């Protein structure tokens, strides 16, 4: 898990950690129930039972911790495993009341990979998470560049195909100056 992660109140926070065996080999496929998780709110009260953290196996020993902060301030989270990490993985979270309203393309690329054609059109947005993503309701400007789109995270791959069971929906938008992408922003 990372040292300090920025978050927004009532918006999904995602953190990653790796599990290795005593020989340094990645440990894959551990179930969420194999971990013990603790979460301390800004008042330093443990809220793990009322505000649970979810663990998902990603690949090659990588796992993600997901949770929704219900208050702004400094949070602390830990994940323990009785065999592979008895001391635990620990992270600090700085949760704000509101989202940063605008991101430059460099800031966004730390969150996701954006494939851009030579004429600066966005053609692919991937890596916002390791979940089942659906991108639809795309609107283009007069230069055939994406102005905004709806991105939804679904419970399963089948739900992506049908658009059913959206866990969360985000709106992504782009702004251009002289036909070049200058700003990319997204909000839940």
Question: Using one digit for the tens of pLDDT, what is the confidence trace for 44-71?
Answer: 999 988 887 889 999 999 999 999 999 9
Strand 4-8 versus strand 85-96 pairing type:
parallel
Please tell me the distance from the alpha carbon of residue 7 to that of residue 68, in angstroms, as a whole number. 9
Please tell me the distance from the alpha carbon of residue 65 to that of residue 54, in angstroms, as a whole number. 6
Q: Categorize the per-residue pLDDT at 3 as very low, low, confident or very high, splitting at 50, 70 and 90.
A: low
* pLDDT, tens digit, 9 for 90 and up, residues 93-112: 988 876 543 333 333 333 44
Inform me whether the pLDDT recorded for 19 exceeds 90.
Answer: yes
Please tell me the distance from the alpha carbon of residue 147 to that of residue 27, in angstroms, as a whole number. 42
Mean pLDDT (whole number) for 116-132: 48
Q: Which is nearest to 95 in space by CA: 67, 70, 73?
A: 73
Q: Quote the pLDDT of residue 99.
A: 53
Q: Quote the pLDDT of residue 46.
A: 93
Inform me whether the pLDDT recorded for 40 exceeds 90.
Answer: yes
Give, for 105, the enclosing helix (H) or strand (E).
helix 105-108
Please tell me the distance from the alpha carbon of residue 16 to that of residue 84, in angstroms, as a whole number. 16
Q: Which is nearest to 109 in space by CA: 127, 121, 122, 129?
A: 127
The more confident residue out of 107 and 181 is 181
Q: Quote the pLDDT of residue 118.
A: 45
Residue with tokens 């991108």: 135
CATH architecture of 4-96: Sandwich (2.60)
Listed in order, strand segments (DSSP E) in 23-71 are: 36-40, 54-59, 62-67
Domain segments of the chain: what residues?
A: 4-96, 103-187
Q: Quote the pLDDT of residue 162.
A: 82
Mean pLDDT (whole number) for 90-95: 89
């Amino acid at each position: 898990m990372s040292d300090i992660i920025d978050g927004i109140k009532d918006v999904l926070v995602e953190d990653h950690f790796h599990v290795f065996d005593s020989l340094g080999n990645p440990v894959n496929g551990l179930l969420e129930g194999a971990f013990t998780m603790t979460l301390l709110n800004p008042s330093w009260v443990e809220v793990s039972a009322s505000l649970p953290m979810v663990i998902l196996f990603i690949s090659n020993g990588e796992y993600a911790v997901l949770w929704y902060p219900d208050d702004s301030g400094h949070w602390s989270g830990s994940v323990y495993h009785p065999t592979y990490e008895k001391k635990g993985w620990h992270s600090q979270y700085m949760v704000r009341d509101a989202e940063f309203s605008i991101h430059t393309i460099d800031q966004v690329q730390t969150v996701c990979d954006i494939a851009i054609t030579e004429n600066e059109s966005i053609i692919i947005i991937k890596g916002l998470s390791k979940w089942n993503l659906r991108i639809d309701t795309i609107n283009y400007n007069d230069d055939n560049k994406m102005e905004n789109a709806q991105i939804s995270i679904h419970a399963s791959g089948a739900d992506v195909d049908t658009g059913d069971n959206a866990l969360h929906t985000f709106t992504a938008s782009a702004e251009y100056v002289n036909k070049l992408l200058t700003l990319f922003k997204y909000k839940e």
